[in-house]
Amino acid sequence: MIGASANVRYPRWLRRLFRNYAVIPALALLVVVFLMSVLAPWLAPHSPDQGEIAKRLLPPAWSAGGSFSHFLGTDALGRDILSRLIYGARVSMLVGVAGTVLAALMGVTAGLLAGYRGGWLDDLLMRVADVQLAFPFILLAIALLVVLGAGIWNLVLVLGLSAWVTFARVTRGQVLALRELEFVEALHALGARDSRILARTILPNVTSALIVVASFAFAEMVLAEAALSFLGLGVPPSTPSWGGMVSEGRDYIIFAWWVITFPGLAIALTVLSVNIVGDWIRDVLDTRLTADA
């Protein structure tokens, strides 16, 4: 490796990082998106929701009629697209992180209980999972959001509810395998309580598989948030979000390609980066999970 003497061993995650060169740009992009979401008020050149109607549908800086003060152009209400993209990162990050955490909390709890206890509880939880998997997710989300009303926290709730199944199934599978191992049996013999065995022994051993599941769940949540906002069921239109921007630009597709193109690219690149980083994490942790586990 890069000028290293033969007896230096880089840690595994670092060696994998050098071998898979897509990971560095992907990580960099995620850091940029994260910084955009945190520092939006300082980074955005214009207000995200106040436009000048006289400057509506300005093209990006590099095409004829564009100006550098609105680098990516403006939308139908004369709002600066770059500023809205920067603010929109907040929604994607917030929904992605909060939704994944919620799904993980619910799924891991259900999976631990189902796998460790077994019996009727296992049957019940897995049948509930089957019922949920028989619904196309988007339909369930639409129906729930119509009941609950559109809004960012309702969206987090719905996305969390929709993704717990994967966490539950993976956790349960791992627990079933771990339960039979000698060290768990030994703890039983020593008189440890079930709750202690679950929290202190089983859970840490499931973590690496869960990190992989979480990274792919995060990617799916960003996509789902965009799709639901696009259908008008996600965040309210007053909050700039990438999916909402594509939706608003839809009517102007014929004469203003830039309005829908940039937010769509932002979604695609963010999700792509999360997927690349997820693949890398899986590689490093060497769990035998696929994206579909």
Partner 1 sequence: MTSYLLRRLWQFALVLLGVSAVTFAITNLTGSPAALLLPPDAGRAQVEALTQRLGLDQPLHVQYWRFLTNALRGDFGNSLRQGRPALQVVGERVPATALLGLTALALSVLVAIPVGTFTAVKRGTAYDTLATAVVLFGQSLPSFWLGLMIILVFGVTLRVLPISGMGSWLHLVGPAITLSFFPAARNIRMLRSSVIETLNMDFVRTARSKGLAEHVVIRKHVLRNALIPFVTIVGLQIGFVLGGAVIVETIFAWPGIGRLMVQAVQGRDFPVIQAGVVLIAATFMVVNLLTDLLYAVLNPRIRLR
Interface with partner 1 (CB under 8 A): 22, 127-128, 130-131, 133-139, 142-144, 146-147, 219, 223, 226-227, 230-231, 243, 246, 250, 253-254, 257, 260-261, 264, 267-269, 271-272, 275-276, 279, 290-292
Angle at 170 between CA 166 and CA 176, to 5 degrees: 145
The minimum distance between CB 269 and partner 1, in angstroms, equals 8
Name which of 104 and 227 has its Cβ closer to partner 1. 227
**CA dist list (Å): 108 to 129, 133, 134, 168, 219:** 13, 17, 21, 5, 19
Rounded CA separation 49/233 (Å): 19
The minimum distance between CB 275 and partner 1, in angstroms, equals 6
Nearest to 72 by CA among 45, 49, 50, 54: 45
The minimum distance between CB 130 and partner 1, in angstroms, equals 5
DSSP category for residue 80: B
DSSP codes joined into one string, 153-186: HHHHHHHHHHHHHHHHHHHHHHHHHHHTSHHHHH
| H helices, E strands: number in the chain | 11, 0
What pairs with residue 74 in β-bridges? Answer: 80
For residues 237 and 244, the answer to whether their CB atoms sit within 8 Å is yes
Name which of 203 and 272 has its Cβ closer to partner 1. 272
Angle at 208 between CA 202 and CA 211, to 5 degrees: 120
Paired tokens of 281: 């994490």
Name which of 184 and 220 has its Cβ closer to partner 1. 220
The minimum distance between CB 219 and partner 1, in angstroms, equals 7
Name which of 95 and 271 has its Cβ closer to partner 1. 271
Name which of 163 and 184 has its Cβ closer to partner 1. 163
The minimum distance between CB 142 and partner 1, in angstroms, equals 5
Name which of 137 and 167 has its Cβ closer to partner 1. 137
Rounded CA separation 223/238 (Å): 20
The minimum distance between CB 32 and partner 1, in angstroms, equals 16
Name which of 99 and 202 has its Cβ closer to partner 1. 99
The minimum distance between CB 143 and partner 1, in angstroms, equals 5
